[in-house]
Amino acid sequence: MARLLHNLLLLTVGLTLKIRVMGYWSLIYGYCALCTGVALLKLGWNIILRPSTTFQWTVRETPPACLNDTSLGTHCYVRIKESGLRFHYVAAGERGKPLMLFLHGFPEFWFSWRHQLREFKSEFRVVAVDMRGYGESDLPSSTESYRLDYLVADIKDIVEYLGYNRCFLVGHDWGGIIAWLCAIHYPEMVTKLIVLNSPHPCVFTDYALHHPSQMLKSSYYFFFQLPYFPELMLSINDFKALKSLFTSRSTGISCKGRWLTTEDLEAYLHALSQPGALTGALNYFRNVFSVLPLSQSEVKSPVLLLWGERDAFLEQEMAEACRLYIRNHFRLNIISGASHWLQQDQPDIVNTLIWTFIKEGEGRKNYRNL
């Protein structure tokens, strides 16, 4: 009798868990289906109201002047023998000074670090990379080419081809994910890690699986798995959706004095309007479920995590949870009123906090490793 009751209890618990999981994923996929349906309705409505302009978009052939601003640095290229890909980057500061490497997020490119390139070139060799599939870097056509292990290997190879074996690594959004993984897999390469609005990958996975609110905020991950349709929705009406990401009240840059100028916005549209550019950027999401084996998930480098309080895509609670995976010094700063686009929204505060973090502990001169 006792054994029967025990088995019945186990069966009840098992069924409850399965029902909970099914309900959870039904909620997520139902929400994604709803969003896709709304997107289709909007598309149909636009076709009815503006049939001649809905499917129009302009490929920007001439880059705006701000992309050639010499105060930001010099445009350079490096071809990695292992992957065969050519990467574009903008570099400033004297060669031989410690390397500070910047990794951008979606849907950005090197230009998102313009305020930091000017700020840190006095004491660092600052390099802002166009990551694989972005800007003037090569855009592999295969979705498989954007696996996480390839993206991490790119950064290691770039650091080595720049003539360094260590760097101060700074990443935002997707660049933050890659920066975390670089620090985990190549701890000897990362002197200090600085991440903006991007939680440790394990924190994000665990939190999203247990908090529907975050999964709903990340529902676009599922939408982006669709072929062709996301590219269409992002480019119709001359990239209206992309413009909205940076300028709307809910998701855009919130600091009034830092709103993107018309020329700044054109810089983004120039990069993203090139043939294949949107597909390259979206292929990061289409490989987000690829598994990058982690023998350990702890980060040995000192870590600074900066977080915009008004991030529309990420729950703030994840920021503090990152502390569990840091073996070294960890500093978290949540910036009041700041949006997801932190380094552009509040550059003065971000730069000050980075300087403070860099100067903590051992001096910079100890890291002049070539």
pLDDT along the chain (370 residues), means of 10: 59 56 56 63 64 71 94 96 94 96 98 98 98 97 93 97 97 97 96 97 91 88 90 92 93 89 96 96 89 75 97 94 94 96 97 96 44
Number of helical H runs and strand E runs in the chain: 13, 8
Written as six digits, the tokens of 44 are 């149909």
- Closest of 103, 266, 114, 284 to residue 196, by C-alpha: 103
User: Do residues 280 and 131 touch, judged by C-beta distance below 8 A?
Assistant: no
Q: What is the pLDDT of residue 33?
A: 65
pTM: 0.88
pLDDT, position 256? 81
The pLDDT assigned to 365 comes to: 44
Domain annotation for the chain: domains and CATH numbers: 73-229+280-291+302-367 (3.40.50.1820)
| Strands 99-103, 125-129: pairing kind | parallel
